[in-house]
Amino acid sequence: MILEDSVLEKEISQAVIRRMPRYYRYLGELLDEGVERISSGELSERMSVTASQIRQDLNNFGGFGQQGYGYNVSFLYEEIGKILGLDQNHNIIIIGAGNLGQALANYMKFDRLGFHTIALFDVKEELIGKNIRGIEVLHVKELDHFVKTHDVDIAALTMPKSSADDIANHLVSLGIHAIWNFAHVDLSIDAKDVVVENVHLSDSLMQLSYNIVKNK
Amino acid sequence: MILEDSVLEKEISQAVIRRMPRYYRYLGELLDEGVERISSGELSERMSVTASQIRQDLNNFGGFGQQGYGYNVSFLYEEIGKILGLDQNHNIIIIGAGNLGQALANYMKFDRLGFHTIALFDVKEELIGKNIRGIEVLHVKELDHFVKTHDVDIAALTMPKSSADDIANHLVSLGIHAIWNFAHVDLSIDAKDVVVENVHLSDSLMQLSYNIVKNK
DNA sequence: TAGATTGTTAATCGATTAACAATC
DNA sequence: TAGATTGTTAATCGATTAACAATC
C-alpha cells in the first residue's frame, strides 16, 4: 500500500511549481476583467509561454479544462489556489523587525492570500513593543514561549546573517517546519522535513548586474 | 566580422548565471577562512552540487583552474566578481520609499558589492526630505530632472503595482536600461535593450506554501 | 616522475515543444 | 454535426552528469 502510493505519486518538478504562482496571478487578472473562460492558446499569448507548456503544467495536477471549450477562469483560479495551499491559513512570525521585517508585516497582500503575520521578534530594545498594523514586536527571549503557545506555520528570517543559522536550527527544534529565509546565507538544517525558501536579494542584484554588463 | 562575433559568442544560460552569485558567496567564505586553493571536488561537497557542474559552469567563462592543483580561491573570487560586473559601480534609485524601499537603501552589503543607492522617490509628503544613511527621499516630480543630471544605472521599483508599469516605461524613456522590480506584476516594456530582474515576494511565499502542503 | 585535478567531450537525464487522437 | 481545444504521447532540445585525455 505504502509502496503503491509512493510509486504512483509522481514528483512534480520545482520548475513547474515556480510557474504556478504566475498562472495564479494572470488568472486573477482575468477574473478581475470579468473573463469567464480562456483557452491555453489565448493564455499562452498573454503570458508569453507556449500553450503546450500551460497544458502540460496543469495536467500535472489533473484535467481542469474541457475539450472544445478551454478552461473556466474562476474554477482554474480556485484549483491553483488549492494546489498552492492558499485555501488554508498560514501563520507567520518574523525574526528581525528592521525595515525588511516591517515591510513584510505591512504587506496586506499576503493576508489576502491567507498568510497572516502574528508577531515580529527582535533584540533591539527600541523596537520592542512597537506595533505594526496591530502586530507586536516582541523580544527574542519570548520566542520559545510564543511558539509553544501559538500556531506558527512559517518563520521568516530577516535578521543579519550571523545569527540566521542558529536561530533557524532553534526554530526547527521548536517544531517549525517552514522557513522563509532572507538572510544572505544558505542555512544548514539537518532535519529532513523542513522546507526552506530562500530570497537572496544580493544574488538577485548580481544577476541583474550580469545582464547589464552583458547588454552593453 | 560582426557575423563571426555573433557566431563565436555562445549565449550563457540563465541557469548558469543564477548559480554564479552562489559560487561567489562560497568563495568569499573560503577567503575569510584563509583557504588559498580549492578543487572542484571539495567545493562540490561544501555546496552540495556536482564537481562536474562546477567545472562546466566555470568553463563557460574561461579556464580559471590548473590541472593537478585546483582553483586559486582569491583569483577565482575576483574573476567571478568581474563576470557579475562587481568590478564596476552601479548607481541605484529606488522608486517607493516605504519600508521595503528603505530596507534596500539600508543594506550596506549592496554598497560593498558596488551598488550604491543615490536617491529614493515617493509621492507621500511625509516621506519627502527624509534621510536614510545620507540618502535623501525626493518627490517623484523631481525624478526626470534627477535622472537627467545623474548617472543612474538601476531603478528599483518598490511602489504599489498599480503604478509600476507606467513608472517603468517612463524610466525607460528617460534612458534607464535596468529595472529591479519588486512590484507584483510582470512589467510590459517593449524596448528590447532593457533588462528586468523580478523579485516577486508573494510568488516566493506561494512556492513555500506549496512545499509545506506537499510535506504534510 | 607520479598523482591530482582540470578542461572538455560524450552519455544521460529531464524539461520543453510539437503533434494528434480523444472528446466536448 | 463540425469546430475547437483539451489531455497525452512522441520528438526535440537543453542542461546535467560521467568519463577521460590533457597537463600541471
Q: For B118-175, what is each residue's pLDDT tens digit?
A: 999 999 999 999 999 999 999 999 999 999 999 999 999 999 999 999 999 999 999 9
Angle (CA) A160 A163 A166, round 5°: 150
B51 CB neighbours strand C below 7 A: yes
Protein residue at shortest CA distance from C1' of C15: A15
CA distance B70 to chain A (A): 24
> Closest by alpha carbon to B116, among B158, B77, B97, B88?
B88
Name the pairing type of β-strands A195-198 and A178-181. parallel
The three cell numbers of residue B64 are: 580559471
Residues of B in contact with A177 (CB under 8 A): 212, 215
How many C-beta atoms lie closer than 10 Å to residue A197's C-beta? 20
Instruction: Pick the more confident residue, A3 or A73.
Output: A73
Residues of A in contact with B109 (CB under 8 A): 184, 202
| Residue A74 identity | S
The three cell numbers of residue B10 are: 555562445
Residues of A in contact with B25 (CB under 8 A): 184-185, 203
Name the pLDDT band for B31 (thresholds 50, 70, 90).
very high
The three cell numbers of residue A14 are: 520545482
For residue A4, pLDDT beyond 70: no
The whole-number average pLDDT for the span B92-101 is 97
- Would an 8 Å CB–CB cutoff place A195 in contact with chain B? yes
Q: How far apart are CA A178 and CA A176, in angstroms?
A: 6
DSSP assignment of B38-104: E-HHHHHHHHTS-HHHHHHHHTTT---EETTTEEEHHHHHHHHHHHTTTTS-EEEEEE--SHHHHHH
Chain D: positions less than 7 Å from a protein CB are 2-9, 14-19, 22-24
What is the radius of gyration, based on Cα positions, of chain A?
20
Q: Residues with Cβ < 8 Å from A117, sequence gap 6 or more? A: A91, A92, A93, A94, A104, A105, A110, A135
Give residue B66's region: left, alpha or beta (phi > 0; psi -120 to 50).
Answer: beta
Asked if A209 lies within 8 A of B86 by C-beta distance, the reply is yes
Q: For A96-153, what is each residue's pLDDT tens digit?
A: 999 999 999 999 999 999 999 999 999 999 999 999 999 999 999 999 999 999 999 9
For residue B107, pLDDT beyond 50: yes
Number of CB pairs < 8 Å for A and B?
160
Question: What's the whole-number average pLDDT of chain A?
Answer: 94
Residues shown for chain B: 216
Q: Residues with Cβ < 8 Å from B164, sequence gap 6 or more? A: B157, B181, B183, B185, B187
Domains defined for chain A, CATH in brackets: 12-83 (1.10.10.10), 90-203 (3.40.50.720)
Asked if B17 lies within 8 A of A115 by C-beta distance, the reply is no
B16 CB neighbours strand C below 7 A: no
Asked if B110 lies within 8 A of A177 by C-beta distance, the reply is no
Residues of B in contact with A213 (CB under 8 A): 84-85, 88
| CA dist list (Å): B208 to A11, A169, B58, B102 | 16, 18, 30, 25
Q: Which of residues 143-172 of A touch B (CB under 8 A)?
A: 153-154
Q: Which of residues 34-93 of A touch B (CB under 8 A)?
A: 83-86, 88, 90
A53-91 as b/e: b if 16+ CB within 10 A? ebbebbeeeeeebeeeebbbbeebbbbbbebbbbeeebb
| Residue A198 identity | N
> Closest by alpha carbon to A117, among A165, A185, A180?
A180
Closest-CA residue of A relative to B161 is A109
Asked if A197 lies within 8 A of B205 by C-beta distance, the reply is yes
Name the pLDDT band for A215 (thresholds 50, 70, 90).
confident
pLDDT at position A11 is 85
How many C-beta atoms lie closer than 10 Å to residue B64's C-beta? 16
Q: Are A121 and A145 in contact (CB under 8 A)?
A: no
Point out the nucleotide closest to B71 (alpha carbon to C1′): C6
Paired with A157 in beta bridges are A95, A181
Q: For A49-105, what is each residue's pLDDT tens digit?
A: 999 999 999 999 989 999 999 999 999 999 999 999 999 999 999 999 999 999 999
Q: For B189-210, what is each residue's pLDDT tens digit?
A: 988 899 999 999 999 999 999 9
According to DSSP, residue A141 is labeled G
Give strand ranges (E) for A27-67: 37-38, 65-66
For residue B9, pLDDT beyond 80: no
Q: How far apart are CA B180 and CA B182, in angstroms?
A: 7
Q: What's the gap between Cα A206 and its chain centre?
A: 22
Instruction: Pick the more confident residue, A8 or B133.
Output: B133
The three cell numbers of residue A51 are: 500553450
Binding-site residue numbers of B for NAD(+) are 96-101
Q: How far is the CA of A61 from the C1' of D7 (A)?
A: 12
